Chain A
């Protein structure tokens, strides 16, 4: 591990409406803008939008493939753009800085056009 190291990207399957229903049940976030198309339309969003936390969940999955989560001490994310059913997300990341006892890393969830959906920073305890 060293500053500048790029992690192996995680490629996710296309997001589906069914997945959003499943995610709503799993997470307990039942805001209908994520699952009920007429509600999302009347909110002016067109189609439903994916839960930001689903996309952050993809980033979390990637981190848990890159490191042991026992070493994860901080994980912050900013939700930058809405994600829709039909989009395919890839999570990429790298080490940006190190301190005496931590690796400071960043990760992004992007769609096929390269639009950044979620931008995250996370810190890993050095072993």
Chain B
């Protein structure tokens, strides 16, 4: 592995806040095609809602810029969520992130990005681990 890649391990992402709004819950349910009444009212936090929180942090600083990725070569390899507490509409989350690991395998670079979501009461409600792959 090149030293350039190894240097990225431990890099921290910019901390940001995200408020869970019913409109965003509804929009995700509609996009997925989950037309249950509770989902469309925006009262239900779908298991993959954390992806919305992940990406909204990119409005100000993108992973592509931070890691120097070429979007045409980037794939999402794996995604893991650990649900440690409840998330509900109105919650105000603080999100911190770190590049947990980087390695090269089969002509591809793998980046493991770990994010922690902490709610307004200081409880860690979710840990997200994304594996982003850049093809060479």
A residues contacting B by CB (< 8 A) are 12-13, 19, 22-23, 25-29, 31-33, 39, 42-44, 51-54, 56-58, 60-61, 63-64, 69-70, 72-79
Contact = CB atoms under 8 A, between A and B. Distances in A.
Nearest to B72: A43
Interface in B20-42: 24, 27-28, 30-34
A9 to B, nearest CB: 15
Contact of A57 (B46, B72, B73, B78): B46
B47 A72 contact: yes
Contacts of B76: 51-53, 79
A60 B48 CA distance: 6
B78 A75 contact: no
B59 interface: yes
A64 B47 contact: yes
A78 B33 contact: no
Interface residues of B, number: 33
Contacts of A39: 72
Interface string B58-93: 110000000000011111111111110010000000
B77 A79 contact: yes
Contacts of A23: 31-32
Given A25-B31, A27-B28, A61-B32, A69 B45 contact: yes
A60 B47 contact: yes
Q: Is the interface of A mostly helix, strand, loop or mixed?
A: helix
B47 A69 contact: yes
10 contacts: A25-B31, A26-B30, A33-B72, A52-B76, A53-B48, A57-B34, A74-B81, A75-B81, A76-B79, A77-B78
Given A57-B32, A60-B47, A26 B24 contact: yes
Nearest to B56: A28
A73 B82 contact: yes
Contacts of B79: 52-53, 56, 76-77, 79
A44 B75 CA distance: 13
Contacts of A54: 31-32
Nearest to B53: A28
A71 to B, nearest CB: 9
A79 B78 contact: yes
A22 B46 contact: no
Contact of B31 (A26, A31, A63, A69): A26
B55 interface: yes
Contact of A73 (B30, B34, B75, B83): B83
